[in-house]
Structure 1
Amino acid sequence: MKNLLRFSAGSNQGSFRGMVATSCAVVLLSACASFKGIETSGTLRQPADYSTAESLPDQHGQWPDTKWAQAIGGASLQSLIDEAIAGNPNLQIAAARVAAVTAMTDAADAASRPSVSASFDSTYQRFSENYIIPPPYAGTYRTDNALRLNFSYDFDFWGKHAGELRSALSQGKAAQAEQYNARLVIATSVARTWIQLARQYAQLDLNQQQLDVTAKIAHLTQLRLDAGLDAKSENQQTRQQVASLGAEHEQLLEQISLTRNQLAALLGQGPDRGRQIERPVLPADVAIALPDTLPLELLGRRPDIVAARWQVEAVQGDISAAKAAFYPNINLMAYAGFSSIGLNNLLKSGSRIVGVGPAITMPILEGRTLRANLKGRVAEYDSMVATYNRALTDALHDVADQVTSLRAVALQSEQQKKATQAASGNLDLAQQRERIGTTNMLPALAAEMTLLSQRRVDLDLQARRSDLRIGLIKALGGGFDAQAQGLAIEQNSTPSNVSTSVRSAS
């Protein structure tokens, strides 16, 4: 239950004393509402809490910049990412959320400022003969008019509006960080799909070369079969190989079409847009070095971590507002204007009215409701802290996973390079024997097929290295910098105002 008390200014000194006495009584009555015993349990983890020296050593590298796509795929890939950012519905949803939170912030800020309004009322009515209206107006039909300028101001002694504004501002920062994260997800998805399309086209070329070689082998085996030099089984084995490569050729064409459709969807366009994308080419390998002090700097480089941290800050504001509700709310009310019976008397000097006084709202029997509300905010704080800690843990493991895979693929590529070199050397020897006449074309064609198979493995490893490179760029934030975007927050700030174990409304 809430009690609302209002007072108007008057010349009687006794009434002023009564107003002060009543105000003091209101403050004392509020002692019945207490939030003692409601405590938080969540603790924000820090980068120093994690051991990363061996998995993520300092390599004096650079953080990705916002034009990382230009370095990977040139202007072609960059233009696709720009188009996706401009037209993807997920980013439009994120932008709409930022606009909504901005409106909430404006509303919270307005609540902490003085309010001024004007009003005019005019009611045609019959005045009762048995009420406070004296003759000659009693029992007659007249207009009751009032023209007023109203003023109100909430002093916010206990920080309710400040907490609400803090929450709204933090929600806005979180929404902006989430928008950057959505942009990063879209950009890296486009880049990875683009790499996949490049791999599929390169595999299609090697598949076509294999088809050409097997066609020659099939022709030679058929000639040898007709001449009685080979068994029919060898010819059938060659035909089987041709058919398998032909089926793989059709699979690759299907994959290319599906990947183009996927790119068109990421761009927010129809499937025909995917057909217009020019054929991509796999980028060359680039050495990647991790930046120094990675765990600490990662806090301001990953938009998902920054968003989670601002969500914690927002709930801290909600807790401050919930705690302020335990205290009386004091609002200064004032008005000035004219009031009269009959419009012809409204603007006369004798119709002037003026009033000023406090409006006090206090909780009396609402302790259980207020405590329940505060418990909900504290539970939400613990949840947001856990979400932040999970985001930080996942981010560090994400970087470590990408680094581990890049190292493994580099070692695999070294071994595969040796295998490809050996296959190339074997082809040279077979072609030399063919030229000097010690063997026919079949061994040379078989060696060429082996080399093409090794090149296809090379190609898959190259594509995977490019994909992991993009994955590492994403894990490092993709060029996002909270400091530059005005979204930085003091990471080692202690949320002391969240602890609710020792203070009460009394």
Structure 2
Amino acid sequence: MRFLVLVTALGLSACAMTPPLEHPALPVPTHFPQRDLLSQRDEPATGDEARRRDRPDADAVAAEIGWRAMFQDPRLQRLIEIALRNNRDLKLAALNVDAVRAQYDIQRSAQLPQLGLAANGTRERSNTGGVSSVQTTAGLGVGITAFELDLFGRVRAGSEAALARYMASEQGRRSAQISLVGAVADAYFAERLAQAQLALSERTVEDWRGSLALVRQLKAANQTGALELSQAEAQVAGSEADREARQREAEVRGHALAALIGQALPSDLPEGAGLMEASVLTQLPAGLPSSTLTRRPDVRQAELALVAANAEIGVARAAFFPRLSLTASAGTASPGLKGLFKSGSGVWSFAPQITQPLFAAGQLKAELRLAEIRKSAAVLEYERAVQQAFREVADGLSGRDLYARQAEAQQRAAAAAERRAALADMRYRAGVDSRLEVLDAQRQLYASRQALLDLRREEIANAIGLYKALGGGLVEMGS
């Protein structure tokens, strides 16, 4: 008994072999890049520009902005709901978390003794000197089998490593959810862009068909030539080909969206907002890198992987020292079942065992060196995750500050192109300008409108990327 107390005390006061973990300093600047927006702030904002400059409370944190508050389109909200239920990648990430949790439970159980109940009985016939006899024995006992007393922290370090891996897997699942929410939103607005481009293309086909009808009337009245008629016919044919391409793109984008949500697009989806409507927060608060980056699950995952790698060094170091295991049992035994619980039938055994590695052909040193290399790799992975996160946020902030002004300029360009096309058509009908001037004006107008749609899509994509980079997408409701 005294020996057991002594060994227990040694186990509780055992020196840990795990080295202290020093977190590397963030290998990024202390502040995100700032852009001078004084010229923008001096100008009054109206219409769509004012809506794009709307931002949440300055004290809010982007990671705490729920995806419903970020994406206010009811159709998109419904699609995100479906994806969070059905997406196979997210389900796989959740199963991986469960698997790592089971591994942690297995590792943690090694820190406690495991009790087992054993019952046995034998009946044996023997023949000695011509005299045969039958002997019966029975036994019942409770025992501990090969329980390791963790004198040097090997088991405890292994449990710490398993816990860190479990927590890292949970962060991986959270990161997968953020990526899924962002991917659904990105695919949705890509489909919205394709639909808007298709609508623009169909409207352009109708407009240019009207122009072709006018040219044919003028040709019939001998007021124009065959060259202008050929130009108008070529313009209509090209617009029809472009319309078919836009139709194909819209269908492909719809298929991609269906794949992300894990099922066909439901027929009862609510009506979606138009691409040009202000249904997405494009102005998000960033904060300081230290507070922002630590909210990202992928950065936390890399940090926990570093913790696990550091703990595995303790496991490798402890392997150089003796390992003490204990096997013990207590119970009762008798020549028959009737005497199994009678006084004097008790039995016990106590068998401690200590092992000390003497020669392993360099295996233990190699395992320690491997653990140290893996920790160094984990440090680099952590630093790389931080740098990648900083770059994504910085890129998103640059887009946040510049897309609104670029879109406003593009709107002015589209409005000017529309005025030019209307004037060119009037002058052509009056016989002042040639058909070439009309064709050039119409093409410029179509290109300006397409550029405006593309720019709006890029602005939304930048907002989605910044939202993901800031760790948003885990909360459903929020500020």
Who is 1:50 aligned against?
28
Q: Is the 8 A contact 2:286 2:470 kept in 1?
A: no
2:286 to 291, 294, 305: 291
Work out which of the residue numbers 245, 265, 276 in structure 2 matches 1:273. 265
- Give how far 1:155 is off: 2.8
Describe the superposition over 1:72-124 as per-residue Cα deviations: whole angstroms up to 9, x where unpaired.
34222122112111111111111111111111121122111132221012233
Asked if residue 79 in structure 1 is aligned to residue 78 in structure 2, the reply is: yes
Secondary structure at the aligned position of 1:169 is classed as: helix
- Please list, as runs of the form range in 1=range in 2, the aligned pairs for 1:91-490 lying within 5 A after superposition: 91-125=90-124, 140-151=133-144, 153-269=147-263, 272-273=264-265, 280=272, 281-282=274-275, 283-284=277-278, 286=281, 288-293=283-288, 295-366=289-360, 368-427=362-421, 429=423, 447=441, 450-479=444-473
In 1: Cα distance, 2:426 partner to 2:239 partner:
28
Distance 1:195 1:346, change over 3 A: same
Q: 2:297–2:471: 8 Å Cα contact kept in structure 1? A: yes
Task: Give 1:363 shift.
Answer: 1.9
Classify 1:389/1:446 alpha carbon distance in 2 versus 1 (closer, same or farther; 3 Å): closer
**Alpha-carbon contact 1:303-1:480 (below 8 Å) kept:** no
TM-score (norm 2): 0.81
**Secondary structure, in 3 states, of the residue corresponding to 1:150?**
strand
State the alpha-carbon separation in 2 of the partners of residues 426 and 325 from structure 1: 82
SS at match of 1:363: coil
Q: Give the conservation status (yes or no) of the 8 Å contact 1:70–1:78.
A: no
Name the CA distance, whole Å, in 1 between partners of 2:259 and 2:282: 32
- Deviation of 1:390 after TM superposition, in Å, equals 1.1
Q: Do 2:61 and 2:287's aligned partners in 1 also have CA atoms closer than 8 Å?
A: no
Query: Could you tell me which residue of structure 2 aligns to residue 501 of structure 1?
Result: none
- 1:160-190 Cα deviation digits (max 9, x unpaired): 1211111111111101100011111111110
Question: How has the CA–CA distance of structure 1 residues 54 and 184 changed in structure 2, closer, same or farther, with 3 Å as cutoff?
Answer: closer
Structure 2: distance between partners of 1:128 and 1:313? 66
Secondary structure class of the residue paired with 2:356 = strand
Distance in 1, Cα, partners of 2:267 & 2:439: 36
CA contact (8 A) 1:121 1:145 kept: yes
- Structure 2 letter corresponding to 1:347: F
Deviations 1:236-264 (A, max 9, x none): 11111111111111111111111111111
Q: Percent identity?
A: 27
Contact 2:71 2:281 (8 Å CA) reproduced = no
Alpha-carbon distance between aligned partners in 1 of 2:317 and 2:363, rounded to the nearest angstrom: 12
**2:190–2:457 contact (8 Å) kept in structure 1:** yes
Distance 1:180 1:110, change over 3 A: same
Identify unmatched segments of 5+ residues in structure 1: 1-8, 10-15, 24-34, 130-134, 482-506
Q: Structure 2 counterpart of 1:273, which letter?
A: L
CA distance in 1, matches of 2:23, 2:196: 48
Partners of 1:218 and 1:150 lie apart in 2 by 96
Taking the aligned partners of 1:102 and 1:313, their CA distance within structure 2 comes to: 16
**Comparing 284-293 and 116-125, the one that deviates more:** 284-293
Read off the aligned partner of 1:88 and give its amino acid letter: N
Count residues with an aligned counterpart: 440
Amino acid at match of 2:374: E
Please give the alpha-carbon distance, in whole angstroms, between the structure 2 residues aligned to 1:128 and 1:238: 118
SS of aligned partner of 1:229: coil
Structure 1 residues 240 and 323, CA gap change in structure 2 (3 angstroms):
same
Q: Cα distance 1:432–1:406, how it changes in 2: closer, same or farther (>3 A)? A: same
What is the identity, as a one-letter code, of the residue corresponding to 1:75?
P
1:335-389 deviations in Å (ceiling 9; x for gaps): 2111234444433323221233533232222372222222222222122211111
- Conserved? CA contact 1:94–1:178, under 8 Å: yes
**How far is the alpha carbon of 1:58 from its aligned partner?**
11
Q: 1:300 to 1:53 in 2, by over 3 A?
A: closer
Report the Cα distance in structure 2 between the residues aligned to 1:203 and 1:211, rounded to whole angstroms. 12
Match of 1:63 among 61, 81, 85: 61
Shift of 1:148: 1.0
